[in-house]
Amino acid sequence: SKDVKGVLAYSTAASLGFALFLFLTVNPHLAILLMVAHGFVKASLFMAFGEAEMRVGRSLARLTLAEKE
């Protein structure tokens, strides 16, 4: 996918699956710790990407290496 926010969302779904696996098989406390850490990291990534989009002035999903303006 070319959309960075979409890739971040798919990785969140994968992390939720892993947290469910941890919760059911290993240790529920590890699952909670994983989700808290994941939330902090994902929030900072979304904020950094949004800031970069605002500074560029358009969606970064449409930028390619071939574009030279």
| Tokens 């929030």 sit on residue | 43
What's this model's pTM, rounded to 2 decimal places?
A: 0.65
Q: What is the pLDDT of residue 45?
A: 87
- For residues 1 and 7, give the distance between their C-alpha atoms in angstroms, rounded to a whole number: 7
The residues, ordered by sequence, that sit 6+ positions from 49 with a Cβ below 8 Å of its Cβ are 4, 5, 8, 60
pLDDT recorded at residue 1: 43
pLDDT tens-digit readout, 23-69: 889 888 888 888 899 889 988 988 888 888 788 776 666 655 444 45
